[in-house]
Structure 1
Amino acid sequence: MSASALLLLAAVVAVAAFVQGASGLGFALIVAPVAGLLNPGLLPVMLLAAMIPLNLYIMLRERGALDLRGAAWISVARIAATPGGSLLLLVIPERHLGMVVGLATVLAALASVAAPAFTPGRGAYMGAGVITGLTETTTGVGGPPLALVYQHRPPSELRATVALCFLVGEVVSLAMLLSTGQGGTELLRPTLLILPAVVAGVVVSRFAHRFIDASRMRVFVLGFALVSGVVLMLGM
Structure 2
Amino acid sequence: MTGEQWLLASLAVLAASFVQGSSGMGFALIVAPVLTLLAPDLLPVCVLILMLPLNAYVAWRERHALDRRGASWISAGRMVGTFGGLAVLALLSAQALSIFVGLSTIAAAVVTWFIPAFTPGLLAFIMAGLITGVTETATGIGGPPMALTYQHRPPAEMRATMALCFLIGELISLVFLLFMGKVQMLHLSAALQLLPALAVGAVASRFVHTRIDAKVMRLFVQAFAVISGLVLLIKAW
Quickly name the TM-score band, shorter chain normalised: over 0.9
- The 5-angstrom pairing of residues 34-183 of structure 1 reads 34-183=34-183
Partner Cα distance (2:3, 2:234) in 1: 25
Contact 1:47-1:140 within 8 A present in 2 as well:
yes
Per the alignment, residue 192 of structure 1 pairs with 192
Q: In the TM superposition, what whole-angstrom CA distance separates every residue of 1:171-204 from its partner, at most 9, and x where no partner exists?
A: 1001111111123233121000000001000000
Q: In the TM superposition, what whole-angstrom CA distance separates every residue of 1:106-154 from its partner, at most 9, and x where no partner exists?
A: 1111122221111111000000000000000001111010011100000
Partner Cα distance (1:6, 1:87) in 2: 30
Per the alignment, residue 235 of structure 2 pairs with 235
Deviation at 1:210, TM superposition (A): 1.1
Contact 1:133-1:142 within 8 A present in 2 as well:
yes
Deviation at 1:96, TM superposition (A): 2.5
Query: CA RMSD for the aligned pairs?
Result: 0.9
Partner Cα distance (1:96, 1:6) in 2: 25
Deviation at 1:88, TM superposition (A): 1.3
Contact 1:16-1:31 within 8 A present in 2 as well:
yes
Deviation at 1:40, TM superposition (A): 1.1
Q: How does the TM-score come out when normalised to structure 1? A: 0.98
Contact 1:44-1:137 within 8 A present in 2 as well:
yes
Partner Cα distance (1:61, 1:22) in 2: 11
Partner Cα distance (1:109, 1:123) in 2: 21
Partner Cα distance (1:221, 1:176) in 2: 29
- Which deviates the most, 1-10 or 124-133? 1-10
**Tell me, which stretches of 5 or more residues in structure 2 are unaligned?**
none
Partner Cα distance (1:185, 1:169) in 2: 21
Partner Cα distance (1:198, 1:87) in 2: 30
Q: Deviation above 3 Å: which 4+ runs of structure 1?
A: none
Contact 1:40-1:97 within 8 A present in 2 as well:
no
Query: For residue 13 of structure 1, what is the amino acid of its counterpart?
Result: V
2:203 aligned with 1:211: no
Deviation at 1:82, TM superposition (A): 0.7
- Which deviates the most, 215-224 or 180-189? 180-189
Using the aligned pairs only, state the percent identity.
53
- Which deviates the most, 136-145 or 78-87? 78-87
Partner Cα distance (1:26, 1:153) in 2: 17
Partner Cα distance (1:51, 1:138) in 2: 15
Aligned length: 236
- Which deviates the most, 13-22 or 90-99? 90-99
**Tell me, which stretches of 5 or more residues in structure 1 are unaligned?**
none
Partner Cα distance (2:144, 2:46) in 1: 19
Deviation at 1:97, TM superposition (A): 2.0
